[in-house]
Amino acid sequence: DTGVSQDPRHKITKRGQNVTFRCDPISEHNRLYWYRQTLGQGPEFLTYFQNEAQLEKSRLLSDRFSAERPKGSFSTLEIQRTEQGDSAMYLCASSLGGGENTIYFGEGSWLTVV
Amino acid sequence: KNEVEQSPQNLTAQEGEFITINCSYSVGISALHWLQQHPGGGIVSLFMLSSGKKKHGRLIATINIQEKHSSLHITASHPRDSAVYICAVRYGNEKLTFGTGTRLTIIP
């Protein structure tokens, strides 16, 4: 399967711990997006990359959150000092360019902070 | 306030019924996406529209740019169509703004 893959699919962590999620986009897709979705809500934009450059960050992305895409391929999203409010599904998506190109989503990484 | 409004929030119908889900947005957009999300999280892109109408199998999506409104129709609905349908718009920059979704349940 050559779709967008995310790892881990589920993560339970204690408050205050750091967690890292990985996203492998579809090969050759230069755009990579991170979204967050809480129960009953639509996804919310966090950040996006074009190749290795992080072009936009949402105000939702506090200084505890950092995202990287060091070689323009896979990306990581790290959350430091997790809080219960960080519990959500973190979705990764990729596309070949922006505009009217189709966006492909991963299965998401569920985070539960206890 | 969410800039993308969907209606209804929940919809239950009998198998075979014609389904319509609506999406309204507040300002001009460059593209509108209809997405399908099944339990467990995975999101599938159904359509991307910038004007007019698109059809794929039993699914039809329309958009009226002047009225800032889009509809997703499902003909001959089936229980496997049960999912959350999400409208998402792109306002010219790269990020998508999502509606809260419509939870569709088709009863056999």
Amino acid at B42: G
Torsion (CA) B1, B7, B10, B12 in degrees, nearest 10? 180
Look at residue A1 in the predicted model and tell me its pLDDT: 53
Q: Checking DSSP bridges between strand A104-105 and strand A88-95, what pairing results, if any?
A: antiparallel
Residue B11 has pLDDT above 60, yes or no: yes
Look at residue B47 in the predicted model and tell me its pLDDT: 92
Look at residue A50 in the predicted model and tell me its pLDDT: 92
Closest by alpha carbon to B97, among B47, B31, B45, B41?
B31
* B46 touches A at CB < 8 Å: no
Residue B41 has pLDDT above 80, yes or no: no
Q: Contact at 8 Å (CB) between A82 and A113?
A: yes
A31 and B86 within 8 Å at the Cβ level: the answer is no
Q: Contacts of residue A41 in chain B, CB cutoff 8 Å?
A: 100-101
Closest by alpha carbon to A34, among A19, A18, A16, A55?
A55
